[in-house]
Amino acid sequence: MSRVGSLFLLSKKWSRSRSLLHRFVNLHIRADKHNQLHLRTEMTEQDKEIIRAAGRNEDALSARILKDKMRREHLYANFV
């Protein structure tokens, strides 16, 4: 295998590892119901508007990103 091919496979594996780590961290934050880790924040009006836009099926970039995230995570399976 060429060096470029090896680097591609490594980068693909690293990307997958980052994704798994990101999911693990999110699950850990969600499990912290009493915010003992101080990682939860209040939603801003802008955050809420992005959620509303996604619900209205608007084509704004932020709404598309949110819908893509919701499709990837089993937590949101009943909403997408």
Domain ranges for the chain, please list them: 1-35, 43-80
pLDDT of residue 16 exceeding 70, the answer is no
pLDDT at 22: 80
pLDDT at 25: 84
pLDDT at 68: 87
pLDDT at 44: 93
Task: Please say whether the beta carbons of 37 and 29 come within 8 A.
Answer: yes
Helix axes 45-55, 61-72, angle to 10 degrees: 70
Please list, in sequence order, all residues whose beta carbon lies within 8 angstroms of the beta carbon of residue 39, skipping any fewer than 6 positions away: 29, 32
Residue carrying the six token digits 């780590």? 21
Q: Which residue has the higher pLDDT, 43 or 1?
A: 43
Which pLDDT tens digit goes with each residue over 33-79?
A: 999 989 888 889 999 999 899 889 889 999 988 888 888 877 777 76
